[in-house]
Amino acid sequence: MLQDIDHVLISEERLHARIAELGEQLAADYAGKTPIFIGVLKGVVMFFTDMVRATPIRCEYDFLAVSSYGSGTTSSGTVRMLKDVSSDITGRHIVILEDILDSGLTLHFVRNYLLSKNPASLKICTLLDKPERRRVDVFADYVGFSIPNEFVVGYGLDYKEEYRNLPFIGVLKPEIYN
Ligand code: PRP
């Protein structure tokens, strides 16, 4: 697996340091509000578990799953709901957690879907943002790292479902997906 990685883009140390900062920021912004953190499966898993543990306030959490990528490296443009949240989010403060904001199609869909349930507030926290790739207007309130347009895997992000278990964010060698 490691031989397929061209280079490490964000090390484990940098990930954890930035997540600690984001956790402090979220804890300050949501103190006394008992937000519901909603993770967008599956890519968010590593970020989600580290992020909620870095945010020492009363909170709840839930998940939804959508898919837009199929098995390729570019978005098909179609977002499908695979699993809905189980919480009643009406009147609640919602923070969507995502691993990557790329074309924006996924978060555009998820944001509109959750807003239709009338939460008290809704913000987006993404570990990675690739602003160059945006196809629809979506804005993240909290961003871990803004990254260049390279195919990244690891720390939850996959290529054909593999590489999610790498503890860092790495750039995949082009020969793997070409
Ligand atoms: C990936 C990633 C984001 C989405 C971002 O999910 O986890 O949810 O793509 O891309 P976008 O901004 O272009 O929509 P994917 O559909 O690959 O599913 P996964 O989370 O299960 O890997």
- Which of 84, 102, 137, 141 is catalytic? The answer is 102
What confidence tens digit (pLDDT) does each residue in 3-38 have?
Answer: 999 999 999 999 999 999 999 999 999 999 999 999
Nearest residue CA, atom 22 of ligand 1?
43
Q: Does the C-beta of 129 come closer than 6 Å to ligand 1?
A: no
Residues 6+ apart with CB under 8 A from 77: 68, 103, 105, 135
Closest atom, ligand 1, to C-alpha of 99: 7
Question: How sure is the predictor about 116, in pLDDT bands with cuts at 50, 70 and 90?
Answer: very high
Closest atom, ligand 1, to C-alpha of 133: 13
Q: Does the C-beta of 101 come closer than 6 Å to ligand 1?
A: yes
Distance of CA 69 from the midpoint of ligand 1 (Å): 6
What confidence tens digit (pLDDT) does each residue in 51-75 have?
Answer: 999 999 999 999 999 987 554 555 5
What confidence tens digit (pLDDT) does each residue in 118-177 have?
Answer: 999 999 999 999 999 999 999 999 999 999 999 999 999 999 999 999 999 999 999 999
Write out the DSSP string of 50-75: HHHHT--S--EEEEEEEE--TTSSS-
The kind and range of the H/E element at 143 are strand 142-146
What's the pTM? Answer: 0.94
- Annotation marks residue 29 as catalytic: no
Distance, in Å, from the CA atom of 105 to the CA atom of 167, rounded to the nearest integer, reads 26
Closest atom, ligand 1, to C-alpha of 138: 12
Give the pair of three-digit tokens for residue 28: 């300050």
Distance, in Å, from the CA atom of 30 to the CA atom of 147, rounded to the nearest integer, reads 27
Lowest mean per-residue pLDDT among 48-52, 78-82, 166-170 = 78-82
pLDDT at 69: 57
The mean per-residue pLDDT over the stretch 73-82 comes to 73
Q: Does the C-beta of 85 come closer than 6 Å to ligand 1?
A: no
Provide the CATH topology of domain 11-149. Rossmann fold (3.40.50)
What confidence tens digit (pLDDT) does each residue in 83-109 have?
Answer: 999 999 999 999 999 999 999 999 999
